[in-house]
Amino acid sequence: MAENFIEKRKANWRRLEELIDRAGGVRGVRRLARSEVRELGQAYRRAASDLAIARVESRDPRLAGYLNNLVIRAHSLIYRTESRGARSIYNFYRREFPAVFRRTWRYTLAVFLIFAAISAFSFGATWRDDEFVDFAYVPRAMLHEIRNKRMWTDDLNRNAPFGAAYIMANNIGVGFKTFALSVLPVIGTIDVLTPSALQFGAVNALIVKYGMRRAVWSFVSAHGVLELTAIFIAGGAGLMIGIAIIAPGERTRRDALIERGAMAIKLLAGSIPLLVIAGLIEGFISPAPIHSGYKFAVSAVTAIALAAYLLSRDDGTDGN
């Protein structure tokens, strides 16, 4: 099997080696033609697939070692920063972070579903009995304000600069905490999300029950898309590490942790700017005394822009 496998694939491996050697200088992939950059990306993906097959079906450690080294060299070349400083940061957020998100979106979805399930339970329990707020981390003062149809967020507008700074710091802290505790798969994720999810569900039940939907939803919608998505991404990153520990699959636990850990750190780094932007919106736009339509418009624009950004296919393998 091994000889036949090698015979069929070695031409692609040699071509990948040739492209890597040609692009191995300071200029990197910029030394290659546009068609060669595309070819490099395709050869890299085929070699990565061959490595997975070799690990499972081949008993030749030299073959697996050769392919592993080849894939690492190609990955480093494709995804390495072309220069230091501002351009490297731009390349990461423009290309690498969205690419990693697309590869790992199922973990983000899992965290969202956990949050949604807890929120739905809290919504139903609070709808039946306001007293559930004592278990849902909703202060009695907030319950009183909602029953009397008064917004409890007016102070944010009077202290916008300081409020925005506090919100940003708090959001980033929540993101890191969600990431850290989600390393304990599912159990840790549930533990860290439960307070926020219970409160989210309970508050929504109260504002629907007491007719404050438009006022509160217009406040939350402006920043909520970015804030919640970033927290779900951070939680998904931690969950990915936790699952790699308990279920590494065909790889060794060490290899799984190295691979998933690198992607998780990139996801966490990518979520931070989203939390910063959400904090600015929450501090300056969400509590502003403007028509609610403008706030819903901000929500729609951020949702569309975020989807376009995360689903972008410009991952650097189509040339420069």
Which tens digit of pLDDT belongs to each residue from 23-58?
765 556 777 787 888 888 888 888 888 888 877 776
Is pLDDT of 77 > 50? yes
The position carrying tokens 């300071």 is 26
Is pLDDT of 82 > 50? no
31 or 158, higher pLDDT: 31
Does residue 280 lie within any of the structural domains? yes
Domain that holds residue 225: 95-310
Does residue 88 lie within any of the structural domains? no
Q: Which of 47, 79, 111 is the last residue of a domain?
A: 79
List all residues 6 or more positions away from 27 whose beta carbon is below 8 Å from its beta carbon: none
The whole-number average pLDDT for the span 185-191 is 89
- 220-234 residues labelled b (16+ CB within 10 A) or e (exposed): bbbbbbbbbbbbbbb
Q: Which of 16, 50, 79 is the last residue of a domain?
A: 79
Whole-angstrom Cα distance, residue 80 to residue 76? 5
Q: Which of 21, 51, 79 is the last residue of a domain?
A: 79
CA distances from 135 to 91, 144, 194, 203, 262 (A): 45, 16, 11, 12, 38
Does residue 85 lie within any of the structural domains? no
Whole-angstrom Cα distance, residue 90 to residue 96? 10
Is pLDDT of 319 > 50? no
Determine the pLDDT at residue 207.
94
> pLDDT band at residue 154, thresholds of 50, 70 and 90?
low
Rg, the chain, Cα only:
24
The count of structural domains within the chain is: 2
Task: Looking at the structure, tell me whether residues 59 and 105 fall in a common domain.
Answer: no
CA 306 and chain centroid, separation: 11
Nearest to 285 by CA among 173, 171, 163, 174: 163
12 or 306, higher pLDDT: 306
- The tens digit of pLDDT for each residue in 267-278 reads 999 999 999 999
Average pLDDT, the chain: 84
Does residue 318 lie within any of the structural domains? no
Task: Looking at the structure, tell me whether residues 106 and 51 fall in a common domain.
Answer: no
| Cβ atoms of 135 and 210 closer than 8 Å | no
Sign of the dihedral through C-alpha 39, 258, 253, 100: negative
Alpha-helical segments (H) within the chain: 2-22, 34-57, 61-79, 86-91, 97-128, 140-147, 154-158, 160-181, 187-209, 213-246, 253-284, 292-310
How many CB atoms are located within 10 Å of the residue 204 CB? 20
Does residue 259 lie within any of the structural domains? yes
The 3-class SS string of 169-187 reads HHHHHHHHHHHHHCCCCCH
Task: Looking at the structure, tell me whether residues 37 and 163 fall in a common domain.
Answer: no
Residue 83 structure tokens: 């220069």
Q: What is the DSSP letter of 90?
A: H
Q: Quick one: what percent of the chain has pLDDT higher than 90?
A: 40
